[in-house]
């Protein structure tokens, strides 16, 4: 599209806006009728560890939302000389899971407990046994049940339970809804009805009655919607919340709010069966769209859905690049001390590429990148560790290689269940996130871990904000009965370019050797958690 066409599309509301609340950045993306980005804006934020809980304040939610939108609308005005007053459709996405509970007067009862917390072990175990369905610690229902087990004072006052994306959507539209993909991380979904599993709700209500809780679960959960359904419209109050300047008009339609897992699937065109994607940044998760249900329950595997309700096996690791980023920060401090100016992105690229020349198994070095607990390896807390023996080959190349390997270590344990035990077949895996930013390097490491080709599209850097903008566009523009996967294939990704890296047998063998060392050394990590207390 040329500048005049884009200007007309903005004036006529032929656009879609997606805003995603990531773990370190809130990003807004405006797309045109051809689904490409017109403008963007972002706001950096960080979770806080307060009173033993990882959290974000509601004040930061609104500051970040308004600032990212302000930057986007300013870019629209600067580039196209057109104020952003109307938008075709809007969508919100965010980090899945956690605990956001409100009373009958819409007051938040306790600070937001994010996905990063590993404080619901008892609840997750009890619910998994009760439902015979894996309930991870970070799911909303696990947090709710743990609060009940802890006899927290607020529990009788709970009137509404939602996610971060669901909360923002509710405040801007008045609608208490969730997209089915996001909802599948709140409570198990019945794939026949694309709604919360009624039998499991009944089982949970029995627990509530036994504990004399005065409400029932179905009455505090949001309504579940699938991709393409209408999810309300921007109210006058919502328009002012999003754009305090008052330029943005009310009345624009919103698509169902989705989680970052669902928007990652959309942004990588991985919503059809036998496709998969890996999102690797602060955390890392792999999503594999299944042809059939798994043969049994696995605590390491989460069962969620695509935004249109297809069953998905999800392997989620809390820790990915945080420790790696900290080491790059140390190297940056070293270069600064030498008086050498090195661009941050160049430093990352140089260090990542150095890993390619390391020994296949990382030279006997060992790293645990656990900033927080890791459920796959049964650790409630984390201690970042670097370990070597006198015989290890301690080089910069090996040092970087094992840090990249370690970022995928816990993920690999979960993936082995799908590929080796369940014999799950996939045709393609698409990667996105900061881990893949340096061309070819993250792909090569991921291909070694998964032993399948890994592709990265040119659009992968657009990320989840683009993914939720696509879901908004799908709701606005889809033909009657047009499935989401057909819309993405035919109207968004047709002719899309990308790069694919096939697994190198030497890398695959090296990763296997590293994983043997990784598993044996978990006792070291556990000892560090025990010995090094706050």
Write out pLDDT tens, residues 474-531: 999 999 999 999 999 999 998 777 899 999 999 999 999 999 999 999 999 999 999 9
Query: 276 lies in a domain?
Result: no
Q: Please list the residues that pair with 288 across neighbouring strands.
A: 276, 313
Helix (H) or strand (E) holding 48: strand 48-50
Is 23 in the same domain as 148? yes
Please give the Cα distance from 125 to 140 (Å, whole number).
14
200 and 337 within one domain? no
Residue 461 — left, alpha, or beta (φ > 0 → left; ψ -120 to 50 → alpha)?
alpha
**Mean of per-residue pLDDT scores for the chain:** 94
Q: Is there a domain that residue 429 lies in?
A: no
For residues 17 and 119, membership in a common domain is answered with yes
Q: Are residues 22 and 121 in the same domain?
A: yes
Task: Tell me, yes or no, whether 327 and 182 share the same domain.
Answer: no
pLDDT, averaged in runs of 10, over the chain (534 residues): 93 97 95 96 95 95 98 97 97 95 98 92 96 93 98 97 98 98 96 94 97 97 98 98 97 97 90 90 91 87 93 92 96 96 94 98 98 90 97 98 98 94 89 88 95 82 87 97 95 86 96 98 97 85
Same domain? For 194 and 53 the reply is yes
* Per-residue pLDDT at 432: 82
What is the total count of domains within the chain? Answer: 2
Domain residue limits at 342: 322-406+506-531
Domain finish residue from 258, 274, 298: 258
> What is the pLDDT, as a whole number, of residue 469?
98
- pLDDT given at position 504: 97
For residue 430, tell me if it sits in a domain. no
Residues across the chain: 534
The reply to whether 495 falls in a domain is no
Q: In this predicted structure, what is the pLDDT of residue 80?
A: 96
Label the pairing between strands 25-31 and 89-94.
Answer: unpaired
pLDDT at position 293, please?
A: 80
Same domain, 252 and 329: no
Residues 120 and 30 in one domain: yes
The answer to whether the beta carbons of residues 308 and 227 sit under 8 Å apart is yes
The pLDDT value given to residue 462: 65
Q: pLDDT tens for residues 440-476?
A: 999 999 999 999 899 988 765 567 899 999 999 999 9
pLDDT, position 315: 93
> How many CB atoms neighbour CB 30 within 10 A?
29
Report how far residue 234's alpha carbon sits from residue 94's, in angstroms, rounded to the nearest whole number.
18
Instruction: Mark whether 144 and 251 lie in a shared domain.
Output: yes
- 233 and 358, same domain (yes or no): no
How many other CB atoms sit within 10 Å of the CB of residue 359?
A: 19
Closest CA to 449 of 272, 278, 266: 278
**Residue 460 has what pLDDT?**
58
Output the pLDDT for position 380: 87
Tell me what pLDDT residue 87 has: 98
Pairing state between β 25-31 and 16-21: antiparallel
Q: Which token pair is 245? A: 């300047």
Rg of the chain's alpha carbons, rounded to an integer?
23
Give the domain CATH number at 46. 3.30.420.40
Residue 452 lies in a domain: no
Q: Name the one residue in this structure whose structure tokens are 């994607």.
A: 277
Half-sphere exposure of 176 (CA within 13 A, CB side): 14
Q: Which residues are registered as beta bridge partners of 279?
A: 285, 432
Q: Is the dihedral of CA 297, 198, 293, 191 positive or negative?
A: negative
| Spatial distance between the Cα atoms of 15 and 1, rounded to a whole number of angstroms | 13
| Structural domain contains residue 112 | yes
Task: Give φ, ψ of 368 to 5 degrees.
Answer: -120, 120
**CB under 8 Å, gap of 24 or more: what pairs does 438-443 form?**
438/348, 438/349, 438/352, 438/353, 439/499, 440/499, 440/501, 441/352, 441/353, 441/355, 441/356, 441/404, 442/280, 442/352, 442/404, 443/499, 443/500, 443/501
Domain boundary among 240, 258, 276: 258
Q: Look at residues 258, 276, 305 and tell me which one is the last residue of a structural domain.
A: 258
Between CA 381 and CA 370 the distance in angstroms is 8
pLDDT of residue 472: 98
What's the rounded Cα separation, in Å, for the pair 394 and 401?
A: 11
pTM of the model: 0.82
Q: Are 135 and 128 in contact (CB under 8 A)?
A: yes
Structure tokens at 229: 């359904």
The closest of 364, 457, 441 to 408, measured between CA atoms, is 441
Of 342, 306, 61, residue with least CA distance to 194: 306
Is 349 found in the same domain as 242?
Answer: no
Question: Which single residue is written with the structure tokens 């990308």?
Answer: 498
Whether 335 is in a domain gets the answer yes
Query: Which residues, including other chains, have CB under 8 Å from residue 331's CB and lie 6 or more apart?
Result: 347, 351
Residue 364 CA to its chain's centroid (Å): 32
pLDDT for position 459: 67
User: Is residue 235 in a domain?
Assistant: yes
Reading phi first (left if > 0) and then psi (alpha if -120 to 50, else beta), residue 86 is in beta
pLDDT of residue 292: 83
Residues 241 and 332 grouped into a single domain? no
């Amino acid at each position: 599209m040329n500048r005049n066409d884009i200007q007309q599309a903005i004036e006529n509301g032929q656009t879609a806006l997606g805003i995603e609340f990531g773990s370190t950045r809130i990003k807004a993306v405006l797309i045109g009728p051809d689904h490409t980005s017109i403008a963007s804006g972002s706001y950096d934020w960080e979770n806080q560890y307060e009173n033993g809980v990882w959290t974000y304040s509601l004040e930061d939610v609104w500051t970040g939302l308004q600032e990212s939108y302000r930057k986007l609308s300013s870019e629209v005005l600067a580039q196209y000389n057109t104020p952003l007053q109307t938008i075709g459709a809007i969508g919100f996405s965010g980090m899945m899971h956690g605990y956001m509970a409100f009373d009958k007067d819409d007051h938040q009862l306790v600070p937001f407990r994010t996905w990063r917390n590993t404080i619901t072990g008892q609840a997750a175990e009890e619910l998994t046994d009760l439902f015979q369905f894996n309930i991870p610690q970070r799911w909303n229902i696990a947090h709710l049940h743990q609060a009940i087990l802890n006899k927290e004072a607020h529990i009788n006052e709970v009137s509404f339970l939602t996610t971060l994306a669901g909360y923002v959507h509710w405040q801007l539209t008045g609608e208490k809804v969730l997209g089915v993909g996001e909802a599948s991380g709140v409570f198990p979904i019945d794939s026949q009805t694309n709604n919360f599993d009624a039998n499991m709700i009944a089982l949970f209500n029995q627990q509530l009655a036994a504990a004399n809780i005065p409400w029932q679960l179905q009455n505090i959960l949001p309504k579940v919607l699938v991709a393409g359904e209408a999810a309300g419209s921007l109210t006058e109050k919502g328009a002012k919340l999003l754009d305090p300047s008052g330029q943005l008009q009310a009345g624009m339609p919103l698509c169902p709010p989705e989680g970052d897992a669902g928007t990652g699937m959309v942004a990588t065109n991985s919503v059809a069966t036998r496709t998969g994607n890996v999102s690797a940044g602060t955390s890392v998760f792999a999503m594999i769209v299944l042809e059939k249900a798994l043969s049994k329950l696995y605590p390491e595997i989460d069962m969620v859905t695509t935004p249109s309700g297809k069953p998905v096996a999800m392997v989620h690791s809390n820790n990915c690049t945080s420790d790696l980023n900290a080491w790059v920060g140390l190297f940056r401090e070293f270069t600064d001390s030498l008086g050498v100016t090195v661009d941050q992105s160049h430093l990352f690229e140089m260090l990542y590429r150095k890993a390619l020349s390391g020994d296949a198994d990382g030279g006997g070095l060992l790293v645990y990148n656990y900033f927080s607990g890791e459920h796959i390896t049964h650790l409630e807390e984390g201690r970042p560790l670097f370990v070597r023996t006198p015989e290890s080959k301690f080089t910069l190349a090996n040092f970087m290689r094992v840090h990249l390997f370690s970022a995928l270590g816990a993920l690999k344990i979960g993936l082995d269940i799908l590929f080796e035990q369940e014999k799950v077949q996939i045709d393609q895996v698409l990667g996105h996130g900061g881990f893949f930013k340096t061309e070819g390097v993250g792909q090569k490491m991921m291909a070694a871990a998964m032993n399948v080709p890994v592709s990265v599209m040119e659009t992968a850097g657009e990320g989840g904000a683009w993914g939720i903008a696509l879901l908004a566009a799908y709701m606005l523009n889809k033909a009657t009965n047009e499935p989401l996967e057909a819309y993405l294939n035919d109207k968004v990704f047709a002719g899309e370019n990308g790069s694919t890296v096939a697994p190198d047998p030497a890398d695959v063998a090296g990763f296997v050797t590293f994983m043997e060392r990784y598993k044996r050394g978990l006792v070291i990590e556990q000892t560090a958690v025990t010995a090094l207390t706050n």
